Amino acid sequence: MQSSIAAGMVYALGEKPIFKPGDAIRILDRSPIGHYRVPLYLRGKAGKVDSVIEPVAVDNEEEGFGRNAGSRRHYYRVAVPMTEIWPDYEGSPRDGLYIEVFETWLEKIAD
Amino acid sequence: MTQTENLVKRLPNDIGGLPADPIQRIEHELEPWEKRCHALADVLDYHKIINTEEKRCGVEALGAEMVGKLGYYERWIVAFANILFRKGILTPTELALKTKEIEARWAEAHPDRHDDT
Amino acid sequence: MSESTHHDHDHDHPHAEISQSERPGFYDVMETAVRELLIGKKLFGADEIRHQIELLDSRTPALGAKVVARAWVDPAFKSRLLANGRAACEELGISFYDDTQLIVLENTEKVHNLIVCTLCSCYPRPVLGLPPDWYKLKPYRARAVSEPRAVLAEFGTHIPDDVEVRVSDSTAMVRFLVLPMRPNGTDGYDEKQLAALVTRDAMIGVIPANAPTGRTAR
């Protein structure tokens, strides 16, 4: 919701978060080689956005190659139930795994 | 999936969820060189000569055998050398010559000590 | 472990460290070589390394313990701490030299937090100092995310089933600090007494804060 002061103002690409707290999301299932910051154990897992991390920041997977500039996007603190990750999870069904994930690694799950 | 495909898709540091031993509550006081190495990492990051993510990437690039066999700061310093070579800041020959100089300096300062291997 | 050596070599060598009685190992020499070459090329100064060592020596779990103790006695501070961990620490004069953010994770009757970095060794160094070896080694990193309760049990910590065990795996620029529950029997304790009960391992989340002396831990 824009105030009349900012009406017509355009955001930079990536400046506005795509997801918000509570959104059901999936961590994408692609398999990069060479370098990545999303662990294998979480690929393709469904969870929820716990919080949006501010401010926007550079993709750390790009930073690994010395690329410190470029479009900044949001990281999200994402909550994934342990039972979603491990089929034989021994522990409470309430237990959860929280992790920061860059925006380009997430998709919304349709309601 | 073949075994080598797994090797390529899983970075050597990506160990979350793998089977592992009971935790041994090891700690040790950092050796002077390890502390210097940590300080070096921080100073390299401040200057953006090697940023923290580049360091992580460099450690991963050592490959599974070295990641498994080298100690924590040993991985760092080898990774730094490799990154500095790739960036053209140092060459392997420069490092090798400086290494010999440092070894000679120590030997000169400790003439009574035999060459240990 | 130092011994004096004859100093008739060139003092321009940026290696004013105490000389060792042990022959420096392969990696020790490599570190010295890399550092001296880079200083020689004027990429940074020897003083910067020395200063950073002093900085590292000054960051210990005592800092984190003070933050926790303040949060226990000052609800408004605690609120600010949970909203923005780094800003609240900066209020107390703790600087974040590594450009990371801090999220403080409050342990409650409903949630028990622990922190890990499966991919490397991310750790809230500005406020806790350097991590212990076990935090950086495979057993903890591999198992904290798949069997946290078994890991906690290895530290002697048992969390009831109706309490969520929440594991935070660091991967980016946010670091985490666990705010343990204030132990029973500490009414009227001042901040210094409270801080003395807060250990590094409690701020990682593998154990609770210590009970006051003379009583058994819950």
Residue C174 and residue A75: Cβ atoms within 8 Å?
A: yes
Query: How far B5 CA sits from the closest chain C CA (Å)?
Result: 20
Neighbouring C-alpha atoms within 13 Å toward the C-beta of A33: 7
Question: C181 lies in which domain range?
Answer: 60-204
Q: Is residue C6 part of a domain?
A: no
Residue C162 and residue A94: Cβ atoms within 8 Å?
A: yes
Residues C30 and C50 in one domain: yes
Residue partners of B29: CB distance under 8 A and separation at least 6 = none
The CA distance from C32 to B102, in Å, is 8
Q: Say if strands A106-108 and C101-106 run parallel, antiparallel, or are unpaired.
A: unpaired
pLDDT per residue over C27-55, tens digit each?
Answer: 999 999 999 999 999 999 999 999 999 99
Residues C31 and C70 in one domain: no
Residues C38 and C125 in one domain: no
Residues C31 and C138 in one domain: no
Quote ipTM for the complex: 0.96
Query: How far C131 CA sits from the closest chain B CA (Å)?
Result: 9
Residue C5 has a pLDDT of 39
Residue A37 and residue C119: Cβ atoms within 8 Å?
A: yes
The series of mean pLDDT values per 10 residues for chain B, 117 residues long, is 86 98 96 98 97 97 97 98 98 98 96 69
Residue C13 has a pLDDT of 44
Give the mean pLDDT of chain A.
Answer: 93
Residues C72 and C168 in one domain: yes
Residue partners of C71: CB distance under 8 A and separation at least 6 = C77, C78, C81, C104, C179
Q: Tell me how many degrees the CA angle C123-C129-C131 measures, rounded to the nearest 5.
A: 50
Q: Is residue C18 part of a domain?
A: no
For residue B20, which residues of chain A lie inside 8 Å, CB to CB?
none
Question: A35 lies in which domain range?
Answer: 24-108
Residue partners of C125: CB distance under 8 A and separation at least 6 = C59, C98, C131, C175
* Cis before A55? omega within 30: yes
For residue B8, which residues of chain A lie inside 8 Å, CB to CB?
33
Residue B61 has a pLDDT of 97
pLDDT beyond 60 at C12 = no
Count of the separate structural domains present in chain C: 2
Q: Is residue C115 part of a domain?
A: yes
pLDDT beyond 80 at C21 = no
Q: Tell me how many degrees the CA angle C173-C177-C178 measures, rounded to the nearest 5.
A: 145
Residue B112 has a pLDDT of 86
Residues C196 and C184 in one domain: yes
Residue A1 has a pLDDT of 54
The CA distance from A39 to A26, in Å, is 14
pLDDT per residue over A60-107, tens digit each?
Answer: 999 999 887 777 999 999 999 999 999 999 999 999 999 999 999 999
Tell me, what CATH number does A85's domain have?
2.30.30.50
Q: Is residue A54 part of a domain?
A: yes
The CA distance from B71 to B58, in Å, is 15
C122 is catalytic: yes
Q: Is residue C9 part of a domain?
A: no
Q: Is residue C135 within 8 Å of B25, Cβ to Cβ? A: no
Average pLDDT over residues A50-64: 94
Q: Is residue C105 part of a domain?
A: yes
For residue A39, which residues of chain B lie inside 8 Å, CB to CB?
14, 16-17
* pLDDT confidence band for A110 (50 / 70 / 90): confident
Q: Is residue C214 part of a domain?
A: no
Q: Is residue C31 part of a domain?
A: yes
Give the mean pLDDT of chain C.
Answer: 91
3-state secondary structure chain C: CECCCCCCCCCCCCCCCCCECCCCCHHHHHHHHHHHHHHHCCCCCHHHHHHHHHHHHHCCHHHHHHHHHHHHHCHHHHHHHHHCHHHHHHHCCCCCCCCCEEEEEECCCCEEEEEECCCCCCCCHHHHCCCCHHHHCHHHHHHCCCCHHHHHHHCCCCCCCCCEEEEEECCCCEEEEEECCCCCCCCCCCHHHHHCCCCHHHHHCCCCCCCCCCCCCC
Residues C31 and C84 in one domain: no
Closest residue in C to A35 (Cα) is C119
At CB < 8 Å, which residues of chain C contact A?
101, 103, 118-119, 145-150, 161-174
Q: List beta partners, residue A51.
A: A77
Touching partners of C (3+ C-beta pairs < 8 Å): A, B
Please state, in angstroms and as integers, the Cα–Cα distance from residue C187 to each residue in C66, C181, C182, C184, C191, following that order.
17, 13, 10, 8, 11
Tell me, what CATH number does C195's domain have?
3.90.330.10
Please state, in angstroms and as integers, the Cα–Cα distance from residue C194 to each residue in C88, C183, C202, following that order.
18, 9, 13
Residue A95 and residue C166: Cβ atoms within 8 Å?
A: yes
Residues C34 and C107 in one domain: no
The CA distance from C115 to A99, in Å, is 10
Residue C11 has a pLDDT of 40
In sign, the C-alpha dihedral spanning A64, A69, A71, A75 is positive
Q: List beta partners, residue A98.
A: A79, C168
Q: Is residue C66 part of a domain?
A: yes
The active-site residue, picked from C19, C58, C120, C146, is C120
The predicted model scores a pTM of: 0.92
Count of the separate structural domains present in chain A: 1
- Of C57, C76, C105, which residue is a domain's last? C57
Residues C185 and C103 in one domain: yes
pLDDT beyond 60 at C15 = no
* pLDDT confidence band for C2 (50 / 70 / 90): very low
Q: Is residue A18 part of a domain?
A: no
Q: A95 — contact with chain C (CB < 8 Å)?
A: yes
* A-C contacts at Cβ under 8 angstroms: 76
Residue C163 and residue A92: Cβ atoms within 8 Å?
A: yes
- Retrieve residue C104's tokens: 């403080």
Average pLDDT over residues C65-90: 98
